[in-house]
Amino acid sequence: MRAVAMYGAATSLSALVVSALAVAPAGGTTTVDAESYGTTVAAERAAAAGISFGRCPKAEMLPAPVQCGTVKVPLDYASPSGPQISLTVSRVKASGKPAEHQGAFVYNPGGPGASSMYFPMAAQLPEWKRIAQAYDIVGYSPRGVGRSAPLSCQDPADFTKAPTLSPVHPSPSYKMERIAQAKAYAQGCASNAGPALRHYTSLNNARDLDVLRAALRQPRLTFMGASYGTYFGALYATLFPSHVRRMVFDSAVNPEPGRIWYRSNLNQSLAFESRWADFRAWVAKHDQTYHLGATPEDVAMSYEQARARLALEPAGGTVGPGQLHAAFLRAAYHDDYWPLRAGALAEYLKGNEEPLVKQAAPRPEEAYEAENGNAVYTAVECNDAPWPTEWEVWDRDNSALARVAPFETWDNAWMNLPCAYWPAPRQQPLDVRTKLGALPPTLILAAERDAATPYEGALELARRLKGSALITEKDAGTHGIGGGNNQCVNAYLEKYLLYGVTPVRRASCAPHPEPDPVSLERAAAEPKLPHVV
């Protein structure tokens, strides 16, 4: 689902068929038929042109041996000869012998709104070394992201303005303020993008992926999508089953059409409450290190104490309750963050705000990327499916949910509220499913306590993609587990990508070890997580 920096995740999914499925006048075609034909035309062009890889532009900040190029795709697949947009692509060539080469391996980290241009650098990591010997490691920026026809809805400086509030039970006046902001944001997207706005969809992301496959001159696609990447990966498998070679779904979005995207976000908010409890339980277990409370309830009180203090006097002038929440939301995605966040909270309550400011304050140099990612997230999710257009529905559903799951509910609602006032046409979600034998075996990876993409989504995807195998990391909640710190999961991933071998149907792995508490002096930097957003 949404990438962490955007909330977030989380996390991170959709694509759909245009709601205008009406048949054209006699002798014509449906819109979907036209888009299918347009994808074929675009893929043939891309296969002929290929991708001219060379030194990466300075803006990408990617060192050699990473190479960069572009591939052209139609803005509107129903008009393949109309306006084109260029998607940026990155690659590190396979390091193994020619006899070992298995083609290109394409990765998407989710969002919507996240880029995998960085991903070829993972070829240097031990977890990916053998895979990088066999495959060219390929990343790219989907439409709207980075330098791929970038989308913006708001001045980046305004988007990252801080400090901000984050009330658990917002007042009527605060709600009215956020409604006004949501309306202005939706209008900003429409003003900046113009008629192109309607074409930022999950279904187009799936079509773009097929054009990328052709441009890489791969007869069939080897792909790994994490979070939202699993959703348009599942759309791809539904639309182009004969084009799939191997496909990995890491932290799967529930593809049931009725959940895209309003219900999916409500379910996500509910799941975050359990993961927030996991973090507090871990902090309480290490009370001798952090002194934030010996029970999860005591840790919650320490957190609320910090929220109240920051509301009165923001740390460093920029870290208010909103920035505190965003920082701790990351801890609900990845337990690698737990020692850093607990240490920063402990130091802040003792009077040292520097660690919290370092971890939670907005970084001006990241404002453009943050706003761009949020703009794409909003456009894709709002375009993909119907959303309630009456504020009363949002207020009723989120008020009820916040009584049992206050941690993430309202912040998630505010992020998605522009969809209530969206000016572009809505689509109806595609019914993801394949028949037995239509796809080669695919691999689904899921952590049992993942909050950004709750585990039931992996079970639903496995039911819909016949012949898929599900690997479960038991009693764990990290979002995005492929290539991470569970060697059992990595062994299944590597065996599948290298040899096409999966368990018959289901397999499980013991949870990875919980993080050890460490002092802030030893935790020099935020954890590096190249396998997820």
DSSP summary character for residue 292: S
Interstrand relation of 221-226 and 428-429 (parallel, antiparallel or unpaired): unpaired
Interstrand relation of 469-473 and 443-447 (parallel, antiparallel or unpaired): parallel
**Contacting residues for 509 by C-beta, under 8 A, at least 6 apart:** 471, 472, 473, 474, 486, 488, 489, 492
Q: How far are the Cα atoms of 347, 527, 529 from residue 360, in angstroms, in the given order?
A: 14, 14, 18
- Backbone φ and ψ of 506, nearest 5°: -140, 150
450 is an active site residue: yes
Instruction: Tell me the residue type at 477.
Output: G
291 is an active site residue: no
Task: Write out the two tokens for 145.
Answer: 């992201």
**Contacting residues for 471 by C-beta, under 8 A, at least 6 apart:** 443, 444, 445, 446, 489, 492, 493, 503, 507, 508, 509
Q: What is the largest CA-CA distance in the chain?
A: 76
Q: What is the dihedral of CA 424, 428, 429, 433, to 10 degrees?
A: -150
DSSP summary character for residue 483: T
Task: Write out the DSSP string of 75-127.
Answer: SSTTSTTS-EEEEEEEEE---S-GGG---EEEEE--TTT---TTGGGGGGSGG
Is the distance from CB of 530 to CB of 122 less than 8 angstroms? yes
Geometric angle at alpha carbon 456, from 454 and 238, rounded to 5°: 105
Helices H / strands E in the chain, number of each:
17, 12
**Contacting residues for 313 by C-beta, under 8 A, at least 6 apart:** none
Q: How far apart are CA 474 and CA 137, in angstroms?
A: 29
Alpha carbons within 13 angstroms on the beta-carbon side of residue 296 total 10
DSSP summary character for residue 513: P
Is the distance from CB of 150 to CB of 372 less than 8 angstroms? yes
Three-state DSSP state, 491: helix
Instruction: Tell me the residue type at 420.
Output: A
Q: Which of 450, 468, 512, 531 is catalytic?
A: 450
Three-state DSSP state, 139: strand
Q: Which of 243, 479, 512, 531 is catalytic?
A: 479
Residue 521 CB neighbour total at 10 angstroms: 7
250 is an active site residue: no
- Residue owning tokens 């880029």: 115
Instruction: Give the catalytic positions in this structure.
Output: 227, 450, 479
